[in-house]
Amino acid sequence: MKRSRKSTQNERADRRIFPVLPLPPERVIFPRMTSPLVPSRQPGVSAVRHALLADDDLLLLNLRNGEDETPSLNSFLSVGVIAAILESVDPNDGTVRIMVEGYIRVRVHRIIRAGDFFQAEVELIEDDPVVSEPIRELMGQSLELFEEYVKANKKIPSEAVMLVSKEEHPGHLADSIAVHMSLKPEQIHTILEILDPKERLEALIDILKTELEIIEIETHLQNEVKKQVAKTQKEFYLQEQLKVIQRELGQGGQDAAEIEELEEKIKAAGMNEEAEEKALKELKRLQQLPPMSAEAGVIRTYVDWLLALPWHERTEPNTDTEKAERTLEEDHYGLDKPKERILEYLAVLQLVEKLKGPILCFVGPPGVGKTSLGKSIARATGRKFVRMSLGGVRDEAEIRGHRRTYIGSLPGRVIQGLRDVKSKNPVFLLDEVDKMSTDFRGDPASALLEVLDPEQNDTFRDHYLDVEFDLSDVMFITTANLLQPIPAALRDRMEVIELPGYTEHEKLKIAELFLVPKQLEAHGLNSKNVSFSSGSILEIIRRYTREAGVRNLEREITSICRKVARRVVKDGKSKTARVTKTNLKGYLGQPRYNYGRASEKSEIGVATGLVYTQAGGDVISIEATTMPGEGKVTLTGQLGEIMRESGQTALSYVRSHASALHIPESFSFDKHDIHIHVPEGAQPKEGPSAGITLATAMFSEITKRPVRHNIAMTGEITLRGKVLAIGGLKEKVLAAHRANITDIIIPKENEKDLDDIPQEIRDVLHFYPVERMEQVLERALE
């Protein structure tokens, strides 16, 4: 059925009501545009049938959202197009097929629901046909841009430019260009909804410029891709030719399958960008070399090292603090501070996704469990364990590796350790960090500065690998007997945790809970074969060992177990040995040390001092004597420079305060020589903490007043008689307790350190904090 479009303006009022045919957002029909439509949804079908029955036109109105199955009054755009129905066909399948021609824009004032379709009251908008000079320029500019657009976009036929250029009406020109462009729905809606022809042209020009820029970028990218593909094809062709030539000359390079396998491994290893690029570059060099050349072996070894490293392999750490605490308690008795620090680290790890590994430094005498504590920490945190001994290391290459220019060069032991455990987050123990040396081959302590700095070890660069490797996930633990030999810069990078010597009670518990069961198992014994009384273990601690740790204690227990094992083999397993205090001599012989006898009686010129050594705290007797002479001072006992200076300072104090200290006038410093000796002359002694002991021994000898035998002291002295703070107080107090000393003089500034001393030790000792030497003499002399 054919219908004619209403042609006269007089037949239409300025406002009219039309049935609405909803169109999807991407299906926009402009005025003077003819198009077939097949409405299938009920609102559209009913609107078409209503228009056909009423011999009326349709309002083509686009939906804002194409996925809206049941459009409402607010689902439409505010501007549409009135179209005449040129042809219609009803196929009796619930749809209607029509051919429409749009002829005028309208502004929608309101939408009305009329049964199962929509109607709209609209205002007809005629385009202004006047072409002013600015509009003419806009028309020319839009035509030029459209011509460029068509040349750049191969999907649009070139005839479109000719058709568009025939338009003389500004509004019609903008509509015609928009119809031929491949625009997004929102861009087409923008052109449709602009009623003023001039503004419509300006918006179209902006869209054209944007589209041209996009096409230019896409064209550039396509050209780059083509060049890269062409280059790849060329390289492949040349490589194949090169292989053929080498095969003909008998100079074939590495096996192609092997090279391909290595390349796949490199790409799957998860290396950082720099390492992967370096590995592929070396692999390319390897491909060109004969298999038997020396350089090929060097390159292959290098690539194998890169592939062997754990770039992403890691163990999932245990963050269960209760489980970790149980593990630490099972392995070690005491050591509360390091245990607490590890549990704090695990607690923080539960709250944050990534935490840089801590750098801990355990400082303490030999045998207190520094190394075994590192293993225990690895077990508690669920990490793998690596140990590297630094004792005697003097070559920087041990840490950072050798450069590849040297024959037989290898990575440093840090990288080697990570390769061995195949994990990038192990517990890495650097043992004996205070015993490194320095010579012409470099300073290993300086090389450790980068390794042990959390702010820069994520870009650690080994000399051999020469690529960055991330060490920030590694938990580094260092151990040392003394803090002083460690360079200040290295010490500053570590969190120092002191592990002082054990008390008698702690040693007894360690022996009962750990050492005895361990040695029984190691010697094939059990509790039925041998048992140790608490008294026998205490006797071993007091009279057969003198140490801060428990290493010698374990040796003595081992010696007893060996003797018991021999007896079991000889007499049978039914025999049971009971080790007690009374029969201990039969196993270990005569006692080696006198327990509780630092000095048996008060003597003139003999004072008891407390010192701190690599083996922990110790008690020493400082002797002084005077004789007629010329005022000379002699210091013997293998004393270090600082201790000698302390002796001079102590003497200067005594001489300068002679009258205040009531030194007899009969004693003349110019007519007497003073000799100071520290026994056990084979042992070197150093430090300023014996200052007040030296002064007390000299003053006692000069005034002939004996020093109390049950008192010991430690503190640095100044020329003015002030007593200054010292270090290692806990170790010194434990040594005094072992020697059965009851009274201890300490500097007033060290009074705060008494909290670190176990309560059972403090309960049996008397501490006298002092600030001046006069207080020391008053307390120490009888």
The answer to whether the CB of 295 falls within 8 A of the CB of 278 is: no
Other CB atoms closer than 10 Å to residue 579's CB: what's the count? 25
Give phi and psi for 530, each to the nearest 5. Answer: -150, 145
Q: Which of 198, 370, 384, 732 is the catalytic position? A: 732
State the Cα angle at 639 between 633 and 642, rounded to 5°.
90
Cβ-based burial of 705 (10 A; exposed 0-12, middle 13-18, buried ≥19): middle
Pairing of strands 743-747, 766-770: parallel
Runs of H (alpha helix) within 332-465: 336-351, 370-381, 397-400, 413-421, 444-451
CB under 8 Å, gap of 24 or more: what pairs does 304-307 form?
305/411, 305/415, 305/419, 305/464, 305/465, 306/266, 306/269, 306/271, 306/275, 306/278, 306/279, 306/465, 306/467, 307/262, 307/265, 307/266, 307/269, 307/279
Residue type, 666: S
Other CB atoms closer than 10 Å to residue 29's CB: what's the count? 21
Ordered DSSP codes for 46-78: HHHHHHHHTT--EEEEEBS-TT-SS--TTSB-S
The answer to whether the CB of 772 falls within 8 A of the CB of 743 is: no
Residue type, 158: S
Residue type, 464: Y
Handedness of CA 647, 653, 654, 655 (dihedral sign): positive
Other CB atoms closer than 10 Å to residue 221's CB: what's the count? 10
Tokens of 659: 């009258």
How far does CA 115 lie from the centroid of its chain?
A: 69
Q: Look up 46 and say whether it is catalytic.
A: no
From 328, 335, 326, select the one nearest 549 (Cα to Cα): 335
Q: Which of 176, 621, 689, 700 is the catalytic position? A: 689
Tokens of 596: 């509780």
The answer to whether the CB of 692 falls within 8 A of the CB of 745 is: yes
Handedness of CA 164, 29, 3, 17 (dihedral sign): negative
The answer to whether the CB of 472 falls within 8 A of the CB of 356 is: yes
Tokens of 750: 């060290």
State the Cα angle at 162 between 159 and 165, rounded to 5°.
150
Q: Which residues are catalytic?
A: 689, 732
